[in-house]
Structures are given as C-alpha cells and as structure tokens.
Structure 1
Amino acid sequence: MSGLQPSALRGLRSTESGLVVFVVIVIVIVIVIVLVLVLVLVLVLALVSSLLLSTGLVTDLFRRCRVWVLLIRLIRSGILPESVSEPDIMFKESLSSAGMAALMLPGQTAATLLYATTYLDTITTLSLKGSSLEAVVSTPGCGANSSWLTPDYANNVIYCLDEGLTTPTGTLSSFAIGSRGTLSQLDIVDTLSGPVSGVIYGEAGTGLALAHYSGSSVAAFDISNPRTLAPVQANTYTLDAPGPNPGRQEAPHPHQVILDPTGQYLLSPDLGSDVVRLYSVDEAGVSFTELEPLVAVPGSGPRHGAFLVTDDGTTYFYLVGELSNTVTGFEVTYNDDNTLDFTEVYVSSTHGLNGTVPNNQTTAGEIAISPDNKFLLVSSRGEGVLKIPNFDPASSTEIVSDPIITFEIDHASGALTKVQEFPAGGNIPRQFSISPDGSLVAVGLQNDGRIVVIGRDVETGLLTNFVASANVGGQPTSVIFAAE
C-alpha cells in the first residue's frame, strides 16, 4: 500500500464506498419485496377466509373436527364399532349446533350396556341409548337354558348358569368381558342339575355359591382362576314328605343364594322345604358350614331375598314367598356364637297390607332394594290384569302386563308401605335389575321374549315411563347392567 500513488488510493476508497452503497440498496430492496409479499399473502388469506365463512365451509370444517373427536371418544368407550363411518355419525348430513349439543349433553355421550340370558344358548349384549335398546352382540356357549348371570366386574368376568332342563346336569361357564360388551368363553364345567342362581363370596372373592332348584342342592366352586373352574362342595337335601303344596314342594328346591352384608354368611331360600338355609363362610378357603335354617311359613315357598343395612347399623332381611305371594321382613341379630337370629317385623301380600293377588295363577318373582336403601321392589307374575300400549308403534293391539310393586321402607321399624304398582312391560317378569344410580329398571319378560327398561324417579322411588324395549326371544331369564 505504501507504494501506491495518492491518486490510486483515492480511487480505491471511492470503489469501496460504492460497493457499500450498492449492498445497502440491495438489502433495502429485498426487505421491501418481502414486506410486499407478506402484505399480499395477508390480503389473500383474508379474502379466502371471508369467502369460506360466507359459504359456511369453515363452520362445517370445525363441526366435522368436533364430530370426529366425538367419534373417537365413542369408539374408545366401546359404544360404537371401529367400522363406523362418517355418514353414520353425521346422520348423512352436517350436524346442526343443536344436534351436536344434544350429543354432548351429560349422560348422552355413552350408551348403557346390559347383559341378558335367554333359553337360546346365548348371552345377549344390549346397548341402551336414549329411547333405543338394541342387541349388539349375541354370545353362545352358556347352554340351552341359560338362567342366571353373576358378574365379577372387578376382574372383567361374567359367570353364566344353564339350568339344563332337558339334560341330567347343568353347566357353569365363565366369560371374559371385552370391549363394547363382547364376551369370550374361558371355561365351562358340568354342575348338578338345575342351577338357577349364583353369588360370589369369600375374602378374596374366589368362591361362587350356586342354588340348584331341580338338584335340591347348594354347591360351591373355586373361581380363583376363571379359566379353571373347580367344584368345592355340594350340600344336597331331601324331604321326608311333600310340603303343603305337593305340586311344587315334592322336593327341596333352593332358588337363590345370597351373601349377607358382612360377607360371612350365605343364605339360600328353599321353595320346596319352606326354609331359608343358612351357612357360615369359612375364613380360610371357599367352603362353608351349615347352620340352623330360618323356618318360613309352611306352603309359602321362599324364592328370593334381599338385605338392607340402615344408617344406624340395623340389618333387615326381606323374603318373598313365591307360593304365598307374600313379603316378610326380619330384623337380623348377629350373635357372638356365630349364629344369626331373625325376628319378624313385617309381613304382607306382595300388593301391600290390604292388597290381594288377582288369581290363583299368580306367583311372586324378583325382589330388590334400591341403591339408596329407601325402597323395595317386587315383581308379580301371571296376573294378566294391566294393559299397556304396544311397543310396536305400528300395532294398536294392547299388551297384557304383570306389575312391579314398589314399597317405601321405614328404617326405624322395617315396615313397608306400598307406594305404586307399575306395569312391568309384559308377561312373567321373572327377574329385574336396578341400575347402579337407581334411575333405571331392566326387566326380563319371560313369556314375551322381551327386555324392557323402565325409568325411575330416584327421589320418590316411583317408576315413571317405558324408556326402551327390545325383543330378544327365547324366554329371557335374567338381565343385568354392565359396570359403569
């Protein structure tokens, strides 16, 4: 540099200054171009958004996104099959805001599942949503005369009994509960004849006691492994002579097994022997020891029973007599010597203190206590007095119905007050179940091949309306609500 002439140095500096100016100008131009492009993009997006909003496409897009979110939730909850299409959930058109709001209302996003047995070798899974009750799965394998379901929801298992009306033995089956109410058989074993009721017991819930109506027995199975059902014991009974009703009491007929509130005792109403058989559950294992029975009125035919524990700790036991059409209440005393005393506190017709049954064909059916322990419900069969509109809107033929009778329970005395008789929805309500929240009653109408769901006012205890019905055929024998 020291060798350059002053004139050359001045030229070099001039060139460098020109380059700097040029670079600055280029940068400014680039920035201006970018700003112009951003402005154009914003204007284009604004124009497109305006056009979309004016045509409702954006609203529809958001609605569809919400529908698909709802669809995914329904599939995950097991209410809809994975194969459901968008038109199915969209009702073949875009959902209105009101329609979406209805779908999203509390209690409306998930259907209620039920399980029912029939004399068709099937367990039917039904889905209740709104006023629709539909059979969604039919699972074979329980037996030709499936009679009772005992759920073990804690372990996702259901046990099914087959009476075996045309075979020398019955069966006990176990089924795993899958998604959307599907059932997969785990095991099936022969039992004594005529199992009609079962209850899980034992400290770990590993025993299953069965009442065998035609087998005159109360038996037990070890269900610690539902894939390998193992018999434990069977207590079989005889009569020295027929009872007061020789046509029905020619032999002992255990009709139900009930676990007491402490989990330490099993009770089995025996229709043929006019007793309620009593057993203490062994602390170790799943065997049980027989105690002195509760003796019922001769000819009453004890069928089913239910326990109630009041807030002050008083225990009541209510027994329905199938042959006498009576409800009897007992106060239960637990003694230090491992025995129970039953003191009668109430007895009436299944239609109340001053009520009568309409004919000699009437027989009491099921008995249950509401989840809040305030009301007792009883079904009566063979009355044929009530008439209701046909569930088929295309038919004007009325349906003959038996009743479900509701009583209010006085916790201080154990006495009952009849508050309502309501149609069961058809003939021979052999069994019914109350939903866990007490708002629904599901009824199996044996002679009509129908399952009916009835609405219930939890506060008043009154049955209010027919919510839904489904024809399942095959003489329904039991129906239960799935776990919530």
Structure 2
Amino acid sequence: MRLTHAPLLCLLTVASASLQQTPPRASARLWATHYNGNVYSLAFNGHDLSLTDTAKTCGSMPSWLTFDPETRTVYCSDEDGTADPSTHGSLWAYHAGKNGKLHQIAKTNTVGGGVNSVIYEDGKGGKYLAIAHYEGSAISTFALPLRDDEPAVQGFHFNMTHKGAVAQQDAPHPHEVFLDPTGSFVVSPDLGADLLRVYSIDSGSGKLQQCPPVNITFGSGPRHGVFWTDGINNDTHFTGSQDGRPEDWRQVAAVGKTMMYLANEIGGTVDVFEVAYARSGCLSFQKTQTMVPYTNSTMPKGATPAEIRMVGNVLYVSIRTDQGFAPNDSIVTLDRSPRSGAMMLRNKTSSYGKVPRTFTINRAGDLVAIGNQATSTVAIVRRDRETGNLGEEIAMLQVGEPGTVGTAEGLSSVIWEE
C-alpha cells in the first residue's frame, strides 16, 4: 500500500515555518461562500483585501469549499436539502484560473445538507471526496475528478434510537470529515448523535470501511476536530493476511504519538484524546482531558465553539456569539503541553466580526483568514510564527450581505488558494 502523507507533511511544514518570521505574502488569493448562493474570489496584496469575482453558483446554499492544488480544482458543497430523498443538495467542481476566477467543470446531486468535505486517496493514487451531510444525516464519497451527474461511490445514512440532550440533536448531524495524520482514516464528528464516526480507507478500492464509532459525552455536540502527531514513524506496518485477519486488512504506519482535539459545540468544551493504531485495522481513542476553552473556564451564555485549528503546539478555537470584544466575537488561543498533550488557555483575541463560523491559517503560518458569518466579513489577521500569538487586523472586506445571528444566513466559508 502507498501511504498518503499529505496531511502530516502539511502539519510539519507549517510547524517548521513557525521558527522564523517573514512579512505577509506579497499577493494571495482566497475564495469564500455565502448562503445567498454566491461564491466569491478575493485577492490579498499584503495590505488590502479586494473582491475580484462573484459567481452565482453552487446551488442555493453554498456552504464549504475544498481546494485540490494538484489539479487546481475547487469543490463546493451546497447545503440545501435534508435527509428526505425527495430533496437533495449538490456538489460542484470548478477549475481555478490563475486570475482567481472559477470555471465550472461538473455538477452532481448529493444527499442534502452538505457542510464539509475532504479529499483523500487510495493506495494507487486515486482521489476521492468525502462529504459530511448535516441535515442529510449521512456521509457520502465521490470519485475524482468529478463528472456531471456522477453518482456517489458510497453513502452512509444514520438514524438515532434515542433523543439527544437538546432540540438541535433531533437526528444524526455529521458536521465535518477530516483525515488522520497518515491519510488512511476518515473521521467525522456527529453533532446530533454525540459520536465520532471512524472509517478506514481501503487501499485498493478507495471505499470507506466502517470502524466502531467513539461515544462522546452526552450533550456535547461534537463539531470539528484536529489531529496532532510528533511525526516519528515507529515502522509499524502490515499488509495482507496477518493472524487470520482478512487479506485487505492493514495497519497503516503509526506515526509515533498521535492525539486528537475535538471542539464540542453544544457542551462548549474541547476534548483531548490519545489515539492508537489498533491491530484490528481501526483507530482507538482514549480521552485524557475535557476543558472549557474560555476565560475562568466558563463559556458565556449562548456562546459556542465552532472551528478548531492547530499549528505546532498551539491550538485556536473560534467562539461564536460570546461578544468577547463587543460588538465582535473571539478566537481563543490554547497551549498544548509537549509532554502530556493537555491544553491550557493562553488568551483570547478579537475575531473582528460576529459569529466566526470558520477560519483558516495560511501555509506560511503568518496569516489567518477569519470568516465571520453574521457580519459577512473576511478579516485577515497577522499571526506571529515564533510565538503563535494572533495580532492585529491587516485587512477586512464585506463579502455579501450580513446575516442574522442564529440563522443559515451570511458568510459560510473561506479558504486560501494553496
């Protein structure tokens, strides 16, 4: 099997980049989605952020963008639709021009409620896209490159046999799909079912194989997560039949010490897990800490964690509707203990807008793009690569009309072109 190390290499690249400070990029491009049905191309010149193109595309509720730099393809998920098969969402593929404009390549229908996606590979270089469907209570996969009206390769549909802690947990709600550091497992936090759904990637077919789900504390509402690894390969690798296991069983290169950090929207907490590559061919998770990522370990009433990112031993969590820097919300910075992996609060800084639904750190590690949903603004914030501290706002741009707090209105995602 050929392992896919892109997520690990990206993590290590960003971590090593933090050892030295460089000026902001001379020029960079970003894309953003808005629940008004538009996808926007943005340009950042180191000082100013400007709008370069607007496209009415990606269905009625564009919610998430994923960029494949090798093929310069942008994939957009449309959040329209529900689990009812009479409704549906859609998946769109675009070629990213050098001028930042997106040119449609293909479109196909999906299960409703697509809110997040990730590209993964099989053992032969084939590429696939996994999508988390929030309202659709499902996870689906598509072979890449996408073709018009192409059906999903797989669809996993979920049901609940018990009620959740709050009305928001009325059904399973997968909120994200992301890869482990080896690129051999897909993990999905299910906000509705209080589960972490885990899938191994079949190296031959690219299909996902279900592993036992991980129970998250009742009422937590897991939303987004991120892996950490020390990057040390312990050479644990098996292929073929081992001790009576199926021929396609494998344990993919454990990369040394591995941990996962999980932001829980409803519980207002972050969980820490030690992760092991089990001989069963799946991942095992042992929780080591739960903390409230906020001042005095108390989350303000109505405030919720949203996005979580990590560079080296520094984590960042966006906090929606905390009004920590009124009228703006906050980004919380956490320090990870190099010895135990435990988290400690460092500080909180402004998100420079309301409802920071998403934010992303550029590959150089010196800039953060914050997508504030309710104010519908993209803020570019400086990040110190030596300390990890977030600094001043460099640029701000209104992208589409503002949305109402607590509704599916406003800016929905923003990504760097890299």
TM bucket (normalised to shorter chain) is 0.7 to 0.9
Instruction: Please say if residues 108 and 147 of structure 2, whose CA atoms lie closer than 8 Å, have aligned partners that are also in contact.
Output: no
Alignment pair present for 1:444 and 2:371: yes
* Cα RMSD for the two superposed structures: 1.7
Deviations 1:243-267 (A, max 9, x none): 111x111100000001111111111
Say whether 1:113 aligns with 2:29.
Answer: yes
Q: Deviations over 1:309-342 (max 9, x none)?
A: 1144211111010001101111101012202211
Q: What per-residue deviation string (whole Å, max 9, x for no partner) do you get for residues 136-166 of structure 1? A: 1112321221100011011110100110169
Q: Which residue of 2 aligns with 1:374?
A: 313
Percent identity among equivalent residues? Answer: 35
1:384 to 2:323 alignment? yes
Separation in 1 of the partners of 2:31 and 2:394? 17
Amino acid at match of 1:426: G
Which residue matches 2:297?
355
C-alpha distance in structure 1 between counterparts of 2:175 and 2:146, whole Å:
26
**What secondary structure, in the 3-state scheme, does the structure 2 residue paired with 1:248 have?**
helix
Q: 1:125 — aligned with what?
A: 41
1:254 paired residue among 174, 177, 180: 174
Task: Name the counterpart of 2:289.
Answer: 346
In 2, Cα distance between equivalents of 1:210 and 1:327 = 23
Match of 1:211 in 2: 132
Distance between the aligned counterparts of 2:67 and 2:195, measured in 1? 27
The yes-or-no answer on 1:430 pairing with 2:352 is no
The equivalences for 1:141-220 within 5 A come to: 141-164=57-80, 168-203=87-122, 204-220=125-141
When structure 1 is superposed on structure 2, of 143-152 and 219-228 the one drifting more is 219-228
Whether the aligned pair in 2 keeps the contact of 1:232 and 1:286 (CA below 8 Å) is: no
Greater percentage in strand: 2
2:32 and 2:145 mapped to 1: Cα distance? Answer: 24
1:109 Cα deviation after fit: 8.1
Q: Does 1:464 align with 2:391?
A: yes
Give 1 or 2 for the bigger CA radius of gyration. 1
Q: Does 1:274 align with 2:226?
A: no
Other structure's SS at 2:206 match: coil
Counting only pairs closer than 5 Å after superposition, residues 245-324 of structure 1 correspond to structure 2 as 245=166, 247-312=167-232, 313-324=256-267
Match of 2:252 in 1: none
Relative distance call for 1:135 and 1:243 in structure 2 (3 A) is same
1:327 aligns with 2:276: no
- Once residues 299 and 194 of structure 2 are traced to their aligned partners in structure 1, the CA distance between those partners, rounded to angstroms, is 20
* Structure 1 unmatched runs, 5+: 1-105, 388-399
Contact 1:310 1:411 in 2 (8 A): no
1:179 partner SS: coil
Please state how far the C-alpha of 1:201 moved relative to its aligned partner: 0.9
2:400 paired with 1:473: yes
Provide the C-alpha distance between the structure 1 equivalents of 2:366 and 2:261, rounded to a whole number of angstroms: 22
Paired residue total: 361
Distance (Å, rounded) in 1 between the aligned partners of 2:357 and 2:293 = 15
User: What is the distance in 1 between the residues matched to 2:417 and 2:231?
Assistant: 27
CA contact under 8 A between 2:26 and 2:46: conserved in structure 1?
A: no
Partner of 1:137: 53
Q: Distance in 1 between matches of 2:287 and 2:152?
A: 35
Q: By how many angstroms is 1:228 displaced?
A: 6.7
Structure-1 separation of matches of 2:225 and 2:147: 27
Partner amino acid, structure 1, of 2:321: G
| Deviations 1:348-371, CA, capped at 9 Å, x for gaps | 00216x421121x1111000112x
1:427-448 Cα distance to aligned partner (Å, 9 max, x none)? 1000000010111110111100
Contact 2:176-2:224 within 8 A present in 1 as well? yes
Conservation of the 8 A alpha-carbon contact between 1:202 and 1:285: no
SS in 2 for 1:154: coil
Deviation at 1:289, TM superposition (A): 1.0
- Alpha-carbon separation, structure 1, partners of 2:377 and 2:199: 36
State whether residues 448 and 473 of structure 1, in contact with CA within 8 Å, keep that contact through their aligned partners in structure 2.
no
Determine helix, strand or coil for the equivalent of 1:277: strand
Q: Which amino acid in the other structure matches residue 366 of structure 1? A: E
- Corresponding residue of 1:56: none
Displacement after TM superposition at 1:458 (Å): 1.0
Paired residue for 1:365?
Answer: 306
2:213 counterpart SS class:
strand
What is the Cα deviation at residue 344 of structure 1? 1.4
CA distance in 2, matches of 1:216, 1:446: 23
Bigger shift: residues 113-122 or 152-161? 113-122
| TM-score, scaled relative to structure 2 | 0.83
Q: Please, what TM-score do these two structures have when normalized by structure 1?
A: 0.72
1:443-462: CA deviation from partner (whole Å, max 9, x where unpaired): 11110011111111111111
* Higher relative contact order (Cα pairs below 8 Å, separated by 6+ residues): 2
What secondary structure sits across from 2:104 in the alignment?
strand
Structure 1 residues 70-109: aligned runs within 5 Å:
none
SS in 2 for 1:219: strand
Unaligned runs of 5+ in 2: 1-21, 233-255, 402-409
- CA-to-partner distance for each residue in 1:185-223, whole Å, 9 max, x for gaps? 001111111000001112325111110000100111111
Q: 1:209 and 1:225 mapped to 2: Cα distance?
A: 12
Deviations 1:374-415 (A, max 9, x none): 21100011112313xxxxxxxxxxxx1110001111232111
Kept in 2: contact 1:174–1:227 (CA 8 A): no
